[in-house]
Amino acid sequence: WSQPDRYFYPCFGNALLALPDGGMLLIGGTSDGNGVSRGTLWRFTPQGDTLWSRSYFSAAPADEQTFRGGCRLPDGGFALVGESAHATGADVLLLRTDADGRERWRRTYDQDYIDGGGYVLPTADGGLLISGGSLAFATSPPSPGDALLIKVDALGQQQWRTSFGGRWRDASGPLLATPDGGYVVSATLGDTVIGITTQFRFALCWFDAAGTLVRQRTYGPMRPYVGATTLLPLADGGYLLAGQTSDTTNAAGPGLGEPEGFLLRVCADGDSVWYRTYKNLTGGYSSNYLRAVQPTADGGFIGVGFLHPRAPDTGTQDAWVFKTDANGYLQPGGAPPGVTCRPVGLPEAEAETDAGIDVWPNPAPDGRFRVRTPARATLTVTDALGRLVWRGVAQEAETGVDLSRHPPGVYVLRVRGLSGHTTTHKLLR
């Protein structure tokens, strides 16, 4: 089935969340008759029928809000992130709702002339981590800007803020929690300028829990349009980064090009395993936009986006779906990767044991697990995309972990003892 909706605000940062009941939450904005946009949510049933929709207005009528992304929280509510534009620029916007979309609170965060948030991640302490970017005012292009991370508590009060990048315009994108309590964040970094056009490379940046940059790796050639839309954790501890780069085949001049998709697979330490680009329209002047990627049961990946043809390509603007194998090939039989990921973590002889930690039943079809751990251990559960879905502290010999409101799949339980040692266990829901 499909459900057209003429009110959907057509900006690239909008998001669609899958919900435990099989329904969906569409995150974006609407525009009134005067062209003023409002952040908006639509809640759909599994069949695509609208349960409810809500728009969120600011105190100043001329101000505009748009949601770029969001996440579902352990209590069933949602955290939504985007920007709030006003007469003197724009600020990062964070809005918290309950499960029915009713606003609980909102916060804005000002860094520079124009600021915006694109992604938000629940953190193990009950707070949130926002990624986005800031853009400084400039009298002539290109404008400088920084990638931006903002850590807030459960009520949206800022705890720390980190800006990073280089001399030119930068922005941060999708992000995940890491087993050590830190974060891995994708970023687009301005590398150089050709004429007035900034050339970008994509990057992965690792931060500790306090927001200190631990290491950074950059990938791919310099291109005029680069941006990550998906960051996936992989079973081997590595990551898959996906999004947009530029095809320079028939560029109108130096530093120019048309959009095409990319997939990058890296090891846990950031070493590149393989990098592939994708386009359905091959005439050299068309746009191939890759907006999201998900893993498939056979170890491969499925990508989705849309196409905008220009001559000599023909046709109309269409949805685009493609399937790859585990090595990123559209056709099976491609050359195997030349990079083998190094083992990460403690050598077996040095690693602490998991003595005293038991999980049962596992699998648990009803989503209800029992966990035996040392007293006062901290337990966190994340889904396959690294999103926090449950958190607790072991007060007794046995602790119940209830994932019944979450969809079937693989989850990761992390048990952190008072000594700081963390063990990881796979939960099958």
Residue 236 has what pLDDT? 86
**What is the rounded radius of gyration, in angstroms, for the C-alpha atoms of the chain?**
22
- The domain limits of the chain are 15-324, 358-428
Give the angle 153-159-163 at the CA atoms, nearest 5°: 125
From CA 283, how far away is CA 387, in angstroms rounded? 39
3 state SS of 31 = strand
81 phi/psi in degrees, rounded to 5: -130, 145
From CA 85, how far away is CA 58, in angstroms rounded? 10
Are 81 and 70 in contact, with CB atoms under 8 Å apart? yes
Q: Name the stretches of the chain with pLDDT < 70.
A: 1-13, 32-35, 59-62, 137-144, 196, 252-255, 343-355, 385
Report pLDDT digits (tens) over 110-159: 877 778 889 999 999 999 999 998 877 555 555 567 889 999 999 999 99
Give the angle 314-315-320 at the CA atoms, nearest 5°: 115
Residue 149 has what pLDDT? 94
15-324: CATH topology is Neuraminidase (2.120.10)
Q: Do domains 15-324 and 358-428 have the same CATH topology?
A: no
Are 411 and 382 in contact, with CB atoms under 8 Å apart? yes
From CA 29, how far away is CA 272, in angstroms rounded? 37
Q: Which residues contact 189 (CB under 8 A, 6 or more apart)?
A: 147, 165, 166, 168, 170, 200, 201, 202, 203, 218
Residue 78 has what pLDDT? 98
Residue 419 has what pLDDT? 74
Give the angle 8-231-295 at the CA atoms, nearest 5°: 90
From CA 428, how far away is CA 411, in angstroms rounded? 6
358-428: CATH topology is Immunoglobulin-like (2.60.40)
Q: What is the spatial order of strands in the sheet that 410-416 belongs to?
A: 388-393, 378-382, 410-416, 422-428
Beta bridge partners of 14: none
Tokens of 242: 């996906």
Are 82 and 108 in contact, with CB atoms under 8 Å apart? no
Residue 59 has what pLDDT? 64
Residue 306 has what pLDDT? 94
Cis peptide bond N-terminal to 224, omega within 30: no
Question: Per the confidence metrics, is the pTM higher than 0.95?
Answer: no
Are 389 and 383 in contact, with CB atoms under 8 Å apart? yes
Are 169 and 132 in contact, with CB atoms under 8 Å apart? no
* Core vs surface per residue 359-391: b (16+ CB within 10 A) or e: beeeebeebebebebeeebbbbbbbeebbbbbb
